[in-house]
Structure 1
Amino acid sequence: MSPDFEEEFLRQRSTNIHELSNDPLRVLISSAMWIDGGYWFPYAFLFTVFLAQAERWLGTVRWLIVCVASHVLATLASEGALLGAVRRGLAPESAVNTLDIGVSYSLAGVIAVLTYRIAAPWRYPYLAAVLVFYGLPVLGDPTLTQCGHFLSVVIGLGCYPLVRGRGKTRNPKETLATPRG
């Protein structure tokens, strides 16, 4: 695609305030089908390491609930906060058209919910790493996307009732010590 066509194509699938106001269901679904920037290899790696493992553990329905809840709730909360900032004059009016696409909110929520798959005490360093990775950017001068990612992590952690009792937790020490043959 030409850069101009690509930008318009993605803008129509963006979960920005303008598109959410016009057709929220369409953009919430279509936005989650795209990756920002066109670099698919890191996403293929992350999908394999996190999303596939979570779906295998949770089953498709529960995994999808975590994905949808993270994507939809973080999008609505972050775009709602941006709308409030625009209305109070803290953000420019043009912010209603900010490009906001991608599956990264779902990915962040799933990465967070996998905390419950790891046995203690290993779960705590994992959780700390997730909170640092997604939380540090919010402490500076956060962007809409950084806030959305952190909200997705909180939402993923809030999905504990969905994952409670979903099989034995994994102990990395035992997994690494088990001989394969």
Structure 2
Amino acid sequence: MPVDGVPRRWCPRGTPDAGVPGTLHGHAGETPAAGPRGTAAADARRFAARGVRPWRLLPTPAGTPFTFWYTVLLCVTALIAERADPALVHALLQGSSTDVAHLVRTPERVLVGSALWVAGGVASPFTAGFVLVLTALERRVGGLRTAGVFLLGHVLATLATEVPVGLAVLAGDLPGSSLHRLDYGVSFGVAAACGALAGLLPLWLRVPLLTAFGGMLVQDLLAFTDPMTEWGHLIALLVGIATWPPVRRWHAARQPPPLARPLLRPERRAAGRTGRW
């Protein structure tokens, strides 16, 4: 029989109310396994109903504003490089180049200016990589942090490749013309963002991504077409990998809180109040 003074829905297992729907271990007919949003099977059905959303691979003004507007800017500069007078384009690129001479005189201007152009135009593989990688990273950590990872890789890889050139010129190992080496583009930032994004992917995606991208960079380095640039790509990739700890914290901070735990069994809650049962 029910215990005096205790509502019937709190009666222990085995009492007459234990099997009444909406009373014992749930509310309105729920079972203990059912959380606030329903059963796990129902959650799986809802997830499957959403289907694959390929449009989330592309940037949008609201969802990924940094990547979207940066992409628009790169399309504009690519159009200028394609349609403008070649002499003007060369002057613009030379003025934005992160060569040693410019880094000594105006480092801030050229570090920003060099990231406004895509080497090879919109047909470059790094253009597609820029859109896909930065969109995926921004959806996980936000726009400002994505910009920070991109800028970190761009700046560190540039300095790591241009400072040795300056030292080699001072030592007499390279000619003075090396101080004016044309160097621009977004590829260092893309490589860093790719390395950072890999740390947020499951292992079965992370390993193929790093293997394919790293292998491509090593192959280009062995070709010895532009060793300084290819070394810069590898350095930028390592910079992105080094950001895994903060990037993972940023990603975790943006996740919604986990579903509330199912309610304790009524007899345990009653025991917590009375010290009995």
Q: One fold, TM greater than 0.5?
A: yes
How far apart are residue 154 of structure 1 and its match?
A: 0.8
2:126–2:190 CA contact under 8 A, matched in 1: no
Aligned pairs for 1:145-160 within 5 A: 145-160=229-244
Q: Report the TM-score when normalising by structure 1.
A: 0.84
Mapped pair 1:32 → 2:143 = no
What residue in structure 1 maps to residue 95 of structure 2?
12
What residue in structure 2 maps to residue 80 of structure 1?
163
1:17–1:83 CA contact under 8 A, matched in 2: yes
Q: Deviations 1:67-90 (Å, cap 9, x if unpaired)?
A: 010000111111001112222222
Percent identity among equivalent residues? 32
Q: Deviations 1:126-160 (Å, cap 9, x if unpaired)?
A: 22112211223334535221111111101111111
Q: Name the CA shift for 1:39/1:48 in 2 (closer, same or farther; >3 Å).
A: closer
Letter matched to residue 172 of structure 2: G
Match of 1:136 among 214, 219, 233: 219
How far apart are residue 45 of structure 1 and its match?
A: 2.6
Q: Deviations 1:8-61 (Å, cap 9, x if unpaired)?
A: 211111111111111100111111111123335745532331111111111112
Aligned pairs for 1:100-111 within 5 A: 100-111=183-194
Letter matched to residue 48 of structure 1: V
Mapped partners of 2:122, 2:199: distance in 1: 29
2:150–2:193 CA contact under 8 A, matched in 1: yes
Mapped partners of 1:23, 1:59: distance in 2: 30
2:118–2:124 CA contact under 8 A, matched in 1: no
Q: Name the CA shift for 1:120/1:42 in 2 (closer, same or farther; >3 Å).
A: closer
1:78–1:147 CA contact under 8 A, matched in 2: yes
Name the Cα RMSD after superposition.
2.0
Structure 1 segments unaligned to the other structure (5+ residues): 168-181
Mapped partners of 1:2, 1:128: distance in 2: 41
Rg comparison, structure with higher value? 2
How far apart are residue 121 of structure 1 and its match?
A: 3.3
Structure 2 segments unaligned to the other structure (5+ residues): 1-83, 253-277
Mapped partners of 2:108, 2:117: distance in 1: 15
What residue in structure 1 maps to residue 28 of structure 2?
none
Q: Report the TM-score when normalising by structure 2.
A: 0.56
Aligned pairs for 1:38-57 within 5 A: 38-39=121-122, 42-57=125-140
Mapped partners of 1:156, 1:133: distance in 2: 16
Greater share of residues in helix = 1
Q: Name the CA shift for 1:46/1:126 in 2 (closer, same or farther; >3 Å).
A: closer
- Structure 1 residues 145-154 or 135-144, which shifts more? 135-144
Q: Give the count of matched residue pairs.
A: 168
Moved >6 Å (runs of 4+): none
1:112–1:130 CA contact under 8 A, matched in 2: no
